[in-house]
């Protein structure tokens, strides 16, 4: 039997050896050509999820804490070093908390029963689950709830988010929704504390508008509103942003969403918030009108990819905060680099796009003063980070 030694862990959390990826292996392990572990690493621990070996979700439950943390931090350090940037990297913060508060599940029929789960890695084969241990306790019945939509829509995808007043559910389905289907929602919503059910982007049943606290604000959430994966993660990211904005008076916030950071920033600073999502900005503005005791908040709708803020647009601000999608914000960073701003705070969930954009800011005279990795997507190769750029 051929024996292969895993050389290192790749960026996608697969063990690498001889130019090939071996899922769910660890550096130093001896494996067969099929990827079966012959001699495990002393760093290997027992995964706590019963479907860890087959599910396409978590990839790193089998790695002990310290080497896992070191590898994840090294992802960030390596991406930056490849761009010639070697900043102070703070210790990674565990932001898993009680677990994730949102999940997207696939619903398929298996042996005559509708089941919900995740696809096996690299395939379209459903791995059905009864619970998901990385979700918050109040969402452990999410797979069972999602599976019930199979009886109504057939094959579908169901996104479930825990909000302050229940569950917010968004279904994607190809079957045309008949009015009789809506009648089936009522007992489902009553039995499971569902605030809203949206189908293909349209509200089809609602007991209450889904609400979420963001700092001191209570925000009515439009369909599809982005929330951080964990409540603790949102709190940690916001605290870092507010701390990095110190000595600022007027803050410009780009890619603000419905305001998870806006309202916390406004406890200390005047904020102008921008996002391309009209419904998110409307929700932010509505929540602002009900608040007292914060610094002034203004907001506008603008597609920052098509129409990034120009260098002259920044002149009335002394700090910019940006939290772009995974692809980053290269064009916007070029304009920040060419502005007179002296402080920029960048929140990212992708080390490669962040490193690219950081290089743009550094080339424009900024220094990456420090960056704090935040492990909000625990057991996965994804990493969140908050960084401070300054220039004299």
The 3-state DSSP composition of the chain as helix, strand, coil percent (nearest 5) reads 25, 30, 45
The residue annotated as part of the active site, out of 55, 58, 132, 349, is 349
350, 356, 362, 367 alpha-carbon torsion, rounded to 10°: 20
Instruction: Give CA–CA dist 380/280, Å, rounded.
Output: 28
User: Which contacts of 204-209 are long-range, i.e. CB under 8 A and separated by 24 or more positions?
Assistant: 204/177, 207/166, 208/165, 208/166
E strand or H helix that includes residue 300: strand 297-301
Whether the CB-CB separation of 207 and 194 falls below 8 Å is answered with yes
Residue 67, phi then psi, degrees to nearest 5: -65, -35
- Say which residues have a Cβ less than 8 Å from residue 316's Cβ, sequence separation at least 6: 250
Known active-site residue 349: yes
Longest dimension (CA), the chain: 71
- Say which residues have a Cβ less than 8 Å from residue 111's Cβ, sequence separation at least 6: none
Instruction: Give CA–CA dist 139/147, Å, rounded.
Output: 14
Helix, strand or coil, per DSSP, at residue 313: helix
E strand or H helix that includes residue 220: strand 217-220
Whether the CB-CB separation of 305 and 328 falls below 8 Å is answered with no
> Taking CA 333 as the corner, what is the angle to CA 327 and CA 336, rounded to the nearest 5 degrees?
155
Which residue in 309, 363, 261 sits closest to 355, CA to CA?
363
Active site residues: 349
């Amino acid at each position: 039997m051929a024996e292969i030694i895993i050389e290192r862990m790749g960026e996608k959390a697969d063990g690498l050896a001889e130019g090939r990826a071996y899922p769910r292996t660890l550096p130093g392990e001896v494996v067969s050509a099929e990827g079966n572990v012959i001699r495990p690493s002393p760093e290997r621990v027992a995964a706590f999820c019963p479907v860890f070996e087959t599910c396409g979700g978590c990839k790193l439950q089998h790695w002990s804490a310290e080497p896992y943390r070191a590898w994840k931090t090294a992802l960030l350090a390596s991406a930056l070093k490849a761009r010639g940037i070697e900043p102070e990297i703070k210790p990674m913060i565990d932001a898993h908390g009680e677990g994730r508060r949102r999940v997207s599940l696939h619903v398929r029929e298996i042996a005559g029963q509708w089941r919900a789960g995740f696809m096996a890695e690299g395939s379209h084969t459903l791995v059905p689950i009864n619970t998901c241990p990385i979700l918050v306790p109040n969402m452990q019945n999410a797979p069972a709830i999602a599976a019930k939509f199979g009886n109504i829509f057939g094959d579908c995808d169901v996104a479930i988010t825990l909000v302050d007043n229940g569950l917010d559910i968004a279904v994607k389905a190809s079957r045309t929704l008949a009015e009789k289907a809506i009648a089936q929602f009522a007992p489902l919503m009553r039995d499971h504390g569902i605030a809203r059910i949206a189908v293909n982007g349209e509200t089809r049943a609602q007991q209450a508008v889904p609400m979420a606290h963001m700092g001191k604000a209570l925000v009515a959430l439009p369909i599809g509103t982005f929330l951080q994966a964990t409540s603790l993660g949102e709190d940690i990211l916001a605290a870092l942003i507010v701390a990095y904005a110190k000595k600022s008076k007027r803050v410009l916030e780009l890619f603000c969403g419905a305001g998870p950071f806006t309202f916390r920033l406004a406890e200390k600073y005047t904020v102008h918030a921008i996002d391309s999502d009209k419904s998110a900005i409307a929700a932010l503005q509505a929540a602002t009108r009900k608040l007292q005791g914060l610094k002034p908040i203004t907001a506008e709708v603008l597609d920052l990819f098509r129409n990034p803020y120009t260098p002259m647009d920044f002149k009335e601000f002394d700090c910019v905060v940006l939290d772009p999608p995974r692809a980053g914000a290269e064009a916007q960073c070029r304009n920040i680099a060419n502005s007179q701003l002296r402080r920029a705070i960048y929140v990212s969930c992708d080390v490669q796009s962040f490193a690219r954009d950081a290089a743009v800011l550094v080339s424009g005279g900024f220094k990456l003063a420090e960056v704090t990795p935040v492990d909000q997507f625990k057991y996965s190769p994804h990493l969140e980070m908050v960084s401070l750029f300054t220039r004299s």
